[in-house]
Amino acid sequence: MELFRRENSRCWWYDFTVRGTRFRGSTKERNRTAAYEKAAVIYAELSSGKGYCTNRKTPYLAEFALRFLNFVENAKLAEKSKDYLSNGWRLLERTPIPGMRIDHITTEDVNALAFPGSAYNVNCALKTLRRMLHLAQEWGLIGKVPKFKLAKEIGRSLLLDEEAERKILSFCGPLLREIIILLRDTGMRPKKELFPMRIENLDWNHRMIFVPDSKTPTGRRYIPMSDRVVDLLMVRSAGRIEGWVFPADSAAGHITTIDKQFRKARAEAGLPAGLKLYCARHDYGTQMLQHTGNLALVMRAMGQTSTKAAMQYQHPDLEHIRTALNVTRAKPDQENRIN
């Protein structure tokens, strides 16, 4: 076994032959002792037939992505999982890591990546990268997958409540105004449920909205309409008995985003940048739990199965605690006055 350093390389490289096949490669170690130990491990794995090294160079991540996306497209995965992994690659594609060979990707490289948006976006990209590298290992292209931690996802704390609605509606166009009212009064998921809503799923007799497909199996449900939702949807669907409630010139045939309009109205209303359309769903859950006291009923209306997940949408009114404190703390004072 021979160790050597290539020109302009600070790492030690190995060079040996196993069963008539020559293997050369970088140990990725700068210390000679550590490099020798790593080379010995690689030699032992190759000698036992368990090695992953080949005479050809491993592909760049961008090259490997073609095979990965083809695998995802043809795998027996739910469409939502395919969309998730495709979106994860879209996020990774905007970073420097696609230009790296997959066997050169380290924990430090992954930790240095930056992604736009929330922790959800970060984890979408990292979970996709992890899935890609595990497949590369399974297909014999790399020996091991670097370990890296996911970002901590913290639930939204802001609410698109009555006060926020009052402030922002003055700066909204007709479409955004309708979307905000519907989100606040139905608790629907914007992109998965509200935007693709169809007129055929509006039950005028029972004043219900039927959600035929959603993020989860329990998302298939009926949602009661408030009076202002009934009025709004009657005007919106007047003269039509079928089709998209919010038709648009898009590949899907309906609106798919209204974020740009919302961000503009939010800024003009002086509301915080952390306020998202999805915050209306949190407000819905909070208000309905506060007024009904029935978590199971609220979970049913929101299409939730997990109590833990549902509680992320609840922002209980702490005013009840203040009232209870004032009542209990007032007793000693009153007794002292009497005495």
pLDDT, one tens digit per residue, over 89-117 is: 999 999 999 999 998 999 999 999 999 87
Location of structure tokens 């802001």: 158
Q: Which residues pair with 208 in a beta bridge?
A: 203, 224
- Alpha helix (H) residue ranges in 139-215: 162-169, 174-186
* Conformational region of residue 253, where left means phi above 0, alpha means psi within -120 to 50, and beta covers everything else: left
**Length of the chain as a residue count:** 339
Which pLDDT score is estimated for 221?
A: 92
For the chain, the distance separating the N- and C-terminal CA atoms, rounded to the nearest angstrom, is: 95
Q: Which residues pair with 108 in a beta bridge?
A: none
Q: What is the band of 48 on the pLDDT scale with cuts at 50, 70, 90?
A: low
- Per DSSP, 75 falls in state S
Location of structure tokens 């990292």: 126
Closest CA to 313 of 159, 195, 119: 159
Positive/negative CA dihedral, 328, 331, 332, 334 = positive
| Cα–Cα distance measured from residue 28 to residue 104, given in angstroms and rounded to the nearest whole number | 8
Q: What is the band of 58 on the pLDDT scale with cuts at 50, 70, 90?
A: confident
Residue 257, helix vs strand vs coil: coil
Return the higher-pLDDT residue of 212 and 1.
212
Report which secondary-structure segment, H or E, holds 40.
helix 32-47
Which pLDDT score is estimated for 98?
A: 94
Which pLDDT score is estimated for 55?
A: 45
- Paired tokens of 245: 């409630």
